[in-house]
A and B are shown apart, each in its own frame.
Chain A
Amino acid sequence: MINDKNSQKIVDIIQNWSRKHSIWVLAYGTGCGAIEIPPTMTSRYDAERLGVRGAATPRQADVLLITGYLTTKTLKRVIRVYEQMQDPKYVIGFGSCTINGGMYYDSYNTIKLLDRYLPVDVYINGCMPRPEAVLAGFGKLQKLIAEGKATGATKYKENIEWYKENQKKVITNWVMPDYNW
């Protein structure tokens, strides 16, 4: 029954619908962007009405929210957290810094292009992106999930060598267990 293509499609639609409306966010407050999370969550903008909610640990989270610039030191932790999350999982890059380095474009210890290290599903542009922009970003992610196009995690698995190579290039003292699945 499950093998039947049509019923599989229906199951997919239901599952994607639930994934779309229940987004548990692990807000990794890496940079200054973290300051925009509280207004997004609290009374004025109230992201919870869209099903967006904070998660306490990576094991429970669906979305890794990278809020701002990433130093190489922090990148290590971010990779670790991402690998501890359970499938299906998504990454939102938050602010200009994750796109092209932003105002840290010539800094020696931040990474400029987040996409080279982790598969980003949605970018939210701006420095800072206001809560409206953040909500718009979540809306975009929901749309992608519903369509089944938020496939960052699969991409990561397929191109694991390339990602690892990039990661190890910037993180010189690599002591983490390797991502083997």
Chain B
Amino acid sequence: MDSIWYKILGAIVTVVMAFIVGLTYMGLSRKITARVQNRKGPPFYQNFIDALKLASKTSAIHHGFLHHVGPAFMMITSIMSVMIVPILTGDQWFSNLNFKGDLIFLLYIMVFGPLGMALGAGQTGNPNSAIGVTRGLSQMVGFEIPWVMALVALMMQYHTTSIVDLINVQHQSGTWLMFSSPFAFIAAVLAMLGMFRYSPFDIVGAPTELASGPVSENGGKYLFTLMSSNSIFAFAKLTLYVDLFLGGASNIPVLLLKTFAIYLIPMLYGIVSPRYRTEQAIRYFWGWPLFFGILAILHATVF
């Protein structure tokens, strides 16, 4: 039961589940957006059809090797994140290859893919792609600060950098970190708005402004890989939030409920917001989110 093949099989199942859940959430978000705008909207499985369509495109172009492998870099990040974040607590099947769930390592592997993708976007020679990348990197500098502050507050308070340990802390104390470290939660959630890149922080893709930015030269199989990777990545990020602040989940329905609850925050915030300019986005993150981050660290050190 403990053999490596068993674990790898479990990992593959997890990735497939992350893919399905992520795509469903994105489809639901399209549906909800449509309902908010008083439209009927596409069916919730619309994104599966889109993905299948992209996969069944028969031709593709690339601008060179880096552009060709850019989506593969992105996939590394997504799948590694799913591997590192514990999906279900105490479940053998979903323990994955989780490399002890180290948070700092996770933070760094989370930028591996976007940077690899950015290199691919750079090689296309499309100015829109490069502009999108610079915007994305600038925005990342913006939201990483409150996000890291929230994480540092948690790690300092409980003397661990492991996600598994943080879940155990919540199990032992019986309260979720969302309530016992409220400031860290607020800072992290505000940072999440930037991480998910919905409005008002969709400055990277900005379809009407940058022609979808970094992905503007990707079609067919490349776009398919990126789309799958995004959905897997979204699931990994949501699970991370659930693990850190909502006490993890012990079975799949609870996990879905909690992740969807978290997912609603950036989505609903996005539906009613227009787009920021890049420097406005950065300054947003260095305003209230930063303040809450500082409060979180003070809270962690005082108690």
Contacts and interface: CB of A to CB of B under 8 A. Distances in A.
A22 B211 contact: no
A49 B219 CA distance: 23
Interface in B29-54: 30, 34, 37-43, 46, 49-50, 52-53
B172 interface: no
Interface residues of B, number: 31
Interface string B56-96: 11111100000000000000000000000000000000000
A14 interface: yes
Contact of B39 (A24, A43, A87): A43
B138 interface: no
B123 interface: no
B26 to A, nearest CB: 13
B23 to A, nearest CB: 13
Given A19-B53, A46-B34, A48-B41, A86 B46 contact: no
Interface in A17-66: 18-19, 21-22, 24, 42-43, 46, 48-51, 53-54, 56-57, 59-60, 62
A88 interface: yes
B87 to A, nearest CB: 29
Contacts of B218: 59-60
Contact of B211 (A18, A48, A49, A56): A56
Contacts of B211: 56-57
Given A22-B49, A43-B37, A56 B57 contact: no
Contacts of B215: 60
Given A43-B38, A57-B211, A60-B223, A21 B60 contact: no
Contacts of A14: 52
B162 interface: no
A57 B42 contact: no
B50 A86 contact: no
B207 interface: yes
B10 interface: no
B157 interface: no
Given A51-B42, A56-B207, A59-B216, A19 B56 contact: yes
A166 interface: no
A159 interface: no
A57 B212 contact: yes
A85 B57 CA distance: 11
B288 to A, nearest CB: 32
Contacts of A62: 53
Contact of A59 (B34, B38, B46, B217): B217
B59 A22 contact: no
Contact of A22 (B39, B40, B41, B50): B50
B220 interface: yes
A48 B220 CA distance: 20
A15 interface: yes
A48 B58 contact: no
B57 A88 contact: yes
B207 A54 contact: yes
Contacts of B56: 15, 18-19
Contact of B46 (A15, A22, A56, A57): A22
A77 B50 CA distance: 27
Contacts of A53: 42, 50
A24 B46 CA distance: 12
A86 B39 contact: no
Contacts of A43: 37-39
Interface in B187-229: 207-208, 211-212, 215-220, 223
A46 B61 contact: no
A56 B38 contact: no
A22 B49 CA distance: 6
Contact of A48 (B39, B52, B219): B39
Interface of B: 30, 34, 37-43, 46, 49-50, 52-53, 56-61, 207-208, 211-212, 215-220, 223
29 contacts: A15-B53, A15-B56, A18-B53, A22-B50, A22-B52, A43-B37, A43-B38, A46-B41, A48-B30, A48-B39, A49-B42, A49-B43, A50-B42, A51-B42, A56-B211, A56-B212, A59-B61, A59-B218, A59-B219, A60-B212, A60-B216, A60-B219, A60-B223, A86-B57, A86-B59, A86-B60, A86-B61, A87-B57, A88-B57
